[in-house]
Structure 1
Amino acid sequence: MRSRAAILHDVGGPWSVEDIELDPPRAGEVLVEMAAAGLCHSDDHILRGDMSVSNEVAREFGLTPMFPLIGGHEGSGVVLEVGDGVTDFAAGDHVVMSFVAVCGRCRWCASGMEYLCDYGAQTMAPGMPADQTFRHHTANGTPLGHLAKVGAFANHTVVSVNSLVKIDPHLPLVPSALLSCAIPTGYGSAAHRANVRGGDTVVVIGAGGIGTAAIQGARINGAAQIVAVDPVEFKRKAALGFGATHSVASTEEAADLVRDLTYGVMADSVVVAPSLITGDDVHAALQLTRKGGTCVLTGMSAQTTRSVKIALQDFILWNKNLVGTVFGSCNPRSDIARLARLYQSGQLQLDEMITKRYRLDDINDAYADLLNGEIIRGVIDFGLD
């Protein structure tokens, strides 16, 4: 079938919105008509080479080129068609994508850690996960990868059943797209990885989509004091509407504030969620973390960042925890439904996080707004086309 998608042809971009050809879903696969796709910094990191290499460099080092590819890993839609053997989904089902595919059979899934699934670890490899062949093609027949095995920046996409989670058909599809990445990644960073408890003091560095979800995770789980850190005034003000009790422009300001709030104890946990983490960010975040506290690295780093600055004796002797997380250490098949219930109950704010909706053709303008700090979360709303 013919559809349209936003494609990256190599590092540097820009996004190119073009007609594409889609093959029917094969065994274990599903054709989805997209309703909405969230605009995440991770897609821009692919464009800029923070999480990718150009085709020229890939060939030089004997790697499989990843371009051209359809972007987008956060999305929601409606099932149009299922492939052979698919019994868990049917035409008409409402679904959200999970950029971490879940097999349900590997050691990690069996241990309750779906976010570390061996199957999901193939997320950046080209082709379909089952056989590495392609269902997506340019109009002239060139095979197209689809980011995170999702390819949400398309009117239609073919994905593995392992990358889909069925949701209540009464849930509005556009805000539900945020349940695909931003919400579990941010919420889980606070609730699961930092283990925020009632009365805690929490610092969230970066108040974009994921940081805002972390603020909400801290609020819902009972944090008494939540400090949002962001250089953009608009985001600092917005953070107060999602549960932050204080907001400051820098980690230096945060250090003074948290020291005063806690009588010198410092924060129980710190979630680090800027657009790109640097080594200096880690040092500053650990300085904000109390003895025995937890610092969670949620944002992505550039491939070239190989070391971080840590006051090592302070880190060791004060028994601090420095941890990473993927997908907020959430399990897609159970936690997406849990987060949806929080939304339905009014505790989790999704609609309020969506600053602006865009047409697919406006994706380059949308990313310019994101990079200029003008939105908390933008979405491609396919109903606007």
Structure 2
Amino acid sequence: MKIRAAVLQTIGAERPYQDTHPLTIETLELDPPSDNEVLVQIKAAGLCHSDLSVIDGNRPRPVPMALGHEAAGVVKAVGNGVRDLSPGDHVVTVFVPSCGHCAPCAEGRPALCEPAAATNNAGTLVSGGHRLHRPDGTPVNHHLGVSAFADHAVVSRDSLVRVDPELPFHHAALFGCAVLTGVGAAINSADVKPGQTVAVIGLGGVGLNSVLGALVAGAGQVIALDLDEGKLATARSLGASEALNAGGEDVVAKVKALTNGGVDCAIEMAGSEKALELAYQITRRGGTTVTGGLAHPERKVSIQQVSLVAEERTLKGSYVGSCVPVRDVARYVSLFRQGKLPVDKLLSDTLTLDDINEGFEKLAAGKAIRQVILFD
């Protein structure tokens, strides 16, 4: 079938993106679903820093590539072997499909699925194949097994989680990445306990979800840090105890003064080595520093090695919020419906597919938290 999709031809385009147009809207050929694959009509897709990091070259991927990974839609057809989804089901996409058989999946850590990591890097579906082609037959790579900036997508069954059809698509889409990654970092990776002190550095869509995650986990004090005053204001409105400019004078001393020596847990979501170093500096003795920010592969962090031992510190990564999507999407949707996880407050704007370059310029400029493309 023919679809409209946003395709990245080359990485590293200059800004502003509304002028340079790194993404072009093309008519592509989409093959029908093969074994264990599903055809999804995309209804809403979020603009995420993981897409932006491919555009600007921080996360190199093979091009041409149809971008987009955070989405919600309706099942239109299923391939052989798919028995638990049917046409008409509402689904959320997850950008790491879980094979269920490799060592990490068997340990209950599907975010580290080994076949998914290999095929996501290669730009294919988890089957190893391409379902997207230009009219001349040239294959177009898939982004994280999804390629959601399109009116339809063929994805692995293992990239989908069924959701309640009463959940609006523009809200449902957020649960596939921003909510899983941000809330999960606080609840799963950091294992925030009631009464603990938590800092979140980097208040984009994922970081603000970490603020919400820390609050719903019962943190006694949540300190939000960013360079943008507007995002700091948003963090305060969501319930952050304090909101500090990360570039301000003596910010480390201020956090330590507020927390009697440092926070129990610091969560870095800025994708910057300086932000991670700050997160480590404001973590107390015996505390935990979690990073879910995706920096360029060549970036390195400098920390005081002896403090890991003498202060019994923990420094750990968090990918997809250390979530089990089939379990955690339902949990977080339930919290949203109870009013305990107001992720809808993070929705900055809705766009059309033709507005996508303008949307990514806003994201790159720090003028948006979460923008969602709506499809008819």
TM over 0.5: yes
* Partner residue in 1 for 2:159: 163
* Partner residue in 1 for 2:359: 366
The residue matched to 2:171 in structure 1 has which SS? helix
Q: Distance in 2 between matches of 1:71 and 1:340?
A: 25
* Partner residue in 2 for 1:250: 246
2:354 counterpart of 1:357: no
Identity %: 40
2:302 counterpart of 1:283: no
Q: Deviations over 1:256-300 (max 9, x none)?
A: 33222223x2100000001x322x333221110001100001100
After TM superposition, the structure 1 = structure 2 runs for residues 108-119 of structure 1, keeping only pairs within 5 Å, are 108-119=104-115
Q: Distance in 2 between matches of 1:110 and 1:97?
A: 21
After TM superposition, the structure 1 = structure 2 runs for residues 180-329 of structure 1, keeping only pairs within 5 Å, are 180-250=176-246, 253-263=250-260, 265-274=261-270, 276-278=271-273, 280-305=274-299, 307-329=300-322
2:341 corresponds to which of 336, 343, 348: 348
Q: Which amino acid aligns with 1:133?
A: G
Q: Deviations over 1:211-239 (max 9, x none)?
A: 00100000000111111111111111011
User: Aligned-pair distance for 1:202?
Assistant: 0.7
| Deviant stretches of 4+, over 6 Å | none
User: Aligned-pair distance for 1:114?
Assistant: 1.4
Unaligned runs of 5+ in 2: 14-21
Equivalent pairs counted in the alignment come to 366
Q: Distance in 1 between matches of 2:125 and 2:316?
A: 31
Asked if the contact 2:97/2:126 (under 8 Å) is kept, the reply is: no
Task: Name the CA shift for 1:139/1:183 in 2 (closer, same or farther; >3 Å).
Answer: same
Q: Deviations over 1:16-74 (max 9, x none)?
A: 11111111111111000001111111111111211116xxxxxxxxxxxx211100111
Q: Distance in 2 between matches of 1:200 and 1:101?
A: 33
* Partner residue in 2 for 1:61: none
* Partner residue in 2 for 1:31: 39
User: Aligned-pair distance for 1:117?
Assistant: 1.5
Asked if the contact 1:20/1:138 (under 8 Å) is kept, the reply is: yes
User: Aligned-pair distance for 1:253?
Assistant: 4.9
Asked if the contact 2:104/2:112 (under 8 Å) is kept, the reply is: yes
Q: Distance in 2 between matches of 1:299 and 1:126?
A: 21
Unaligned runs of 5+ in 1: 54-65
User: Aligned-pair distance for 1:127?
Assistant: 2.5
Asked if the contact 1:271/1:296 (under 8 Å) is kept, the reply is: yes
Mean Cα deviation higher: 246-255 or 25-34: 246-255
Q: Which amino acid aligns with 2:368?
A: I
Q: Distance in 2 between matches of 1:162 and 1:119?
A: 12
User: Aligned-pair distance for 1:313?
Assistant: 2.2
Q: Distance in 1 between matches of 2:124 and 2:263?
A: 44
The residue matched to 1:134 in structure 2 has which SS? coil
Q: Distance in 1 between matches of 2:347 and 2:136?
A: 36
Q: Give the aligned CA root-mean-square deviation in angstroms.
A: 1.4
Asked if the contact 1:282/1:309 (under 8 Å) is kept, the reply is: no
* Partner residue in 2 for 1:40: 48
